[in-house]
Amino acid sequence: MIGKRLKQAREHLGLTQEELAELVSISQTAIYKIEDGITQQPRSTKKLAKALSVSPEWLQYGINPPFWLESAIDQSAPYREKGLCPLISWVQAGSWQPIFEVDANDADLIPCPVKCSDQTFVLRVQGISMEPVFHEGDLLFVDPEAHCHSGSFIVARLDESNEATFKQLIIEDGHHFLKPLNPDWPDKIIPMKGTCSIVGKVIFTGRAL
């Protein structure tokens, strides 16, 4: 959540809520509401990110964490405890099976930097439907056992064709929708009908430099 990341970055710099609020010319109450989860999509995201020396994408979506957070993860968990996750194809994701049925000899194994279940797998982003936040080639760590809520980034399966797709989950009045982030994408909102099911939640993403 943005509130957790905002607090992480603020405390990393040793700032109080009042000091950060003064830096970006908003109220301390506004900072409190973001950190407490009351405000999920603040208008001041870019200003906050600049003041905290992090990217707006990380602050809002958790994408491309700052170097100091990656270092903290590396120092706090031994490599073997991070979990090795198989890099699979979108075809395999579409016809998803339990991870223990994926032959490790046939898949590259990538350590997940965050806590995950033993069912977690990795996909590479394909296409431009999730730009400008996610780009082709980005790695998606997908956990089928993670809880999904409105706003989560998920991989869903179209059961009729066994195709998999990566989108943002939107839940309104009990109805589920898939949303691409690219403002130029022709399908702005895609209803999730009975033929579409959630494969897993994206819990971490990385980008090769």
E-assigned strands of 89-152? 108-111, 121-124, 139-143
Output the pLDDT for position 161.
66
Task: State mean pLDDT over 21-30.
Answer: 93
Query: What tens digit of pLDDT does each residue of 2-24 get?
Result: 888 899 899 988 999 999 999 99
Name, in order, each residue with C-beta under 8 angstroms of 170's C-beta and a sequence gap of 6 or more. 150, 151, 176, 177, 178, 179, 189
DSSP code string of 158-200: ETTTTEEEEEEEEEETTEEEEE-S-TT-S-S-EE--TTEEEEE
Q: Average per-residue pLDDT in the chain?
A: 81
The SS3 call for residue 154 is strand
Name, in order, each residue with C-beta under 8 angstroms of 1's C-beta and a sequence gap of 6 or more. 37, 40
Q: Distance between CA atoms of 8 and 1, rounded to whole angstroms?
A: 11
Q: Which burial class, exposed, middle or buried, applies to 13 when counting CB atoms under 10 A from its CB (0-12, 13-18, 19+)?
A: middle
Cβ contact 123:132 at 8 Å: no
Query: What values do phi and psi take at 158, rounded to 5?
Result: -90, 105
Output the pLDDT for position 139.
93
- What are the structural domains of the chain? 2-75 (1.10.260.40), 81-206 (2.10.109.10)
pTM over 0.75: no
Query: What tens digit of pLDDT does each residue of 79-99 get?
Result: 334 578 888 888 666 554 444
Output the pLDDT for position 93.
66
pLDDT-based confidence at 67, cuts 50/70/90?
confident
Task: State mean pLDDT over 98-116.
Answer: 66
Q: Distance between CA atoms of 71 and 111, rounded to whole angstroms?
A: 15
Task: State mean pLDDT over 185-208.
Answer: 84
Residue with more model confidence, 70 or 25: 25
Query: What tens digit of pLDDT does each residue of 154-193 get?
Result: 998 876 666 788 999 999 888 899 999 999 988 888 888 7
Share of the chain above pLDDT 90, in %: 36
Residue 32 pLDDT > 60: yes
Query: What tens digit of pLDDT does each residue of 141-157 get?
Result: 999 889 999 999 999 88
